Structure 1
């Protein structure tokens, strides 16, 4: 009697369109709430708005300039009137994009360079991520080793209402790389790198007074114990499910191939049940197989589809994977999306969930159909 073997991996799926024009790596992408525009932020210091109303023919609607260094983050406000862009130049620019033909700056949020920024300054400095609250009244910025929340209710005079750090001693922490509000706006998730790598859940029901509710740490290193004193793998990306019950984290770590001198970066996508925000429970883990020594796998981006059935991950080795998360305890690859040649830095689902945008170091933005 023949027994069935393991299920075959899903076939690779190529992009339906590739958007080019950025002069350097593309670090972030975001769809407008109506799905008509796609914003991409690049190390070439620009933000490009793409008209994606026609899936077969995308056009550049506008190019936004003004940042002095790389653009690392982009996000639309929930009503679609504002676009935020965060940069290594330590600023977040709020653009009025209600009329794409007449784009203006509504405000500039400037973050001072802290006096303690002395180690790995090139890596620590600047804005790495931004996230609007669901009501659009606040924006959270991952800046250096902190999360700063701004009150935007008066756009003529935005005010800084809170600043939190992952650790008691700043010199023991690394840069905060990701930040995101939960769908109901009561929680904020952030992920960091450095000596004490963690994801943190904050209660922001009172945005001016965030309260740490829990810490989520990826699986421990696979190094020999003598090399494991640095802590858990970095949390490069965080993402809430649309219902707010699940939190996804993307991480990476260095592993040593047993019996060889080779090493690789092993990345993982982890899903946490945060029904009780004070006690997150890891329900499932997705790890991509790597080719072997020299291959890299840190997960730089994670995002849930609008219906919550899929989780997309973007990897340092250029892999984009759609995971089936209908059973959060068993993450299974639903599709492998091809098109990028280098590390994937950002991912975004269209509001209807039919399209996924990805960007990366190869200077391109790819669009895939997910239906």
Structure 2
């Protein structure tokens, strides 16, 4: 029985659709701007395009091949004609998907390979995040420990226009695993998986000259102990609200297990007011409980519902949490979405807000009705 004054947790809700075309873990999903396509990328080195014209019966329409390592990130251009796929082979491929049944390779963006990287979670070297600017004229890629911006004025001949290091001290940085543009395209948020890393806000009003404007540092519950056991929680996921006023980060939250410290055991979502990009203000934090029988629940994925009233988060505990963010200072859990097999690595709302897609280590793509 719930304690007096504390609302009972919402009952879990199962999936409405389960898609199982990939042969290994699925790392990324994205809906096209019109909601008719879903793209998914996998450890099996493929990208699958799914036809959602009939949302009750989605079907694979094309399989895109050519990457030599796991596909870690996919993103559609604002007009829906291009799809970018980034992989562990240090390349990003731009696909023309105007005719989804006959996708064509438009260009391949090649990034230099650095020295050996330490494995962090499931991420290793390569491209782990991609995002188109809202005007479609540039593309940002998270490549190893750097953030790379490409000029897409001619999509057939992209030009690398900027490369910046996420952390000023390279040795303290892990792979850049998440990137997101603000709705007006003037801000870029990035996050890393390494120890002692934080989220970074960049002014990209001039894409060729990104300017670091601020750092966002998720709050551990016990900072003195956190500092002795690795520093700040790593920022695994970032996302802007549809109105651009808020930024959300997904991370870990230091916990105690058997009287010891040193691991980010619980998950956390933090909402930041970025009305003044140079001075972001933490407005609210929600923590994610451990999975039954588990000992960790870091948040790997976040996504705002298109109406901006709800936020979805997912991570190691294989459960997707829906948060009511109408009052960012008091995040409230509105639903727990279950049925996913394994850790959740990515989330995407359909543009109409009626479906939420999640994917991850289980190899399946799970869809929930959020209407």
Task: Tell me the equivalent position of 2:118.
Answer: 120
Partner Cα separation in structure 2 for residue 251 and residue 221 of structure 1: 12
- Say which is worse superposed, 31-40 or 285-294, in terms of deviation: 285-294
The answer to whether the 8 Å contact 2:267/2:289 transfers is no
Partner Cα separation in structure 1 for residue 244 and residue 103 of structure 2: 33
What is the CA distance between 1:155 and its match in structure 2?
1.8
What is the CA distance between 1:248 and its match in structure 2?
0.3
List per-residue Cα deviations over 1:172-213 (Å, max 9, x = no partner): 211111001110000000001223310000000000000000
Partner Cα separation in structure 1 for residue 368 and residue 282 of structure 2: 29
Task: Tell me the equivalent position of 1:239.
Answer: 239
Task: Tell me the equivalent position of 1:251.
Answer: 251
Partner Cα separation in structure 2 for residue 206 and residue 262 of structure 1: 40
Partner Cα separation in structure 1 for residue 234 and residue 54 of structure 2: 38
Which structure 2 residues correspond to residues 182-197 of structure 1 after superposition, within 5 A?
182-197=182-197
The answer to whether the 8 Å contact 1:234/1:253 transfers is no
Task: Tell me the equivalent position of 1:13.
Answer: 13
Q: SS of 1:287's equivalent?
A: strand
Change (3 A) 1:64 1:7: same
Which structure 2 residues correspond to residues 127-276 of structure 1 after superposition, within 5 A?
127-220=127-220, 222=222, 225=225, 228=228, 230-257=230-257, 259=259, 265-276=265-276
Q: SS of 2:67's equivalent?
A: coil
What is the CA distance between 1:170 and its match in structure 2?
1.4
What is the CA distance between 1:316 and its match in structure 2?
0.8
Task: Tell me the equivalent position of 1:369.
Answer: 369
Change (3 A) 1:148 1:291: closer
Task: Tell me the equivalent position of 1:24.
Answer: 24
The answer to whether the 8 Å contact 2:149/2:207 transfers is yes
Q: TM-score, normalised by structure 2?
A: 0.94
The answer to whether the 8 Å contact 2:349/2:355 transfers is yes
Task: Tell me the equivalent position of 1:97.
Answer: 97
The answer to whether the 8 Å contact 1:86/1:93 transfers is yes
Q: SS of 1:134's equivalent?
A: coil
Task: Tell me the equivalent position of 2:79.
Answer: 79
Aligned residues: 367
Change (3 A) 1:243 1:163: same
Change (3 A) 1:260 1:95: closer
The answer to whether the 8 Å contact 1:263/1:294 transfers is no
- Say which is worse superposed, 191-200 or 221-230, in terms of deviation: 221-230
Change (3 A) 1:228 1:97: same
Q: SS of 1:255's equivalent?
A: coil
RMSD between aligned alpha carbons? 2.0
Partner Cα separation in structure 2 for residue 134 and residue 261 of structure 1: 42
Which structure 2 residues correspond to residues 286-325 of structure 1 after superposition, within 5 A?
286-290=286-290, 294-325=294-325
Change (3 A) 1:197 1:341: same
Partner Cα separation in structure 2 for residue 150 and residue 370 of structure 1: 35
What is the CA distance between 1:264 and its match in structure 2?
6.7
Q: SS of 2:243's equivalent?
A: coil
What is the CA distance between 1:221 and its match in structure 2?
6.3
List per-residue Cα deviations over 1:299-351 (Å, max 9, x = no partner): 00001011100000011110101100000001101111111121000000001
The answer to whether the 8 Å contact 2:62/2:102 transfers is no
Task: Tell me the equivalent position of 2:328.
Answer: 328
The answer to whether the 8 Å contact 2:267/2:299 transfers is yes
What is the CA distance between 1:223 and its match in structure 2?
8.0
Unpaired runs of at least 5, structure 1: none
What is the CA distance between 1:222 and its match in structure 2?
4.2
The answer to whether the 8 Å contact 1:221/1:228 transfers is no
List per-residue Cα deviations over 1:16-67 (Å, max 9, x = no partner): 1000011110000000111011111000000001111222211111111110
Q: SS of 1:171's equivalent?
A: helix
Q: TM-score, normalised by structure 1?
A: 0.94
Q: SS of 1:267's equivalent?
A: strand
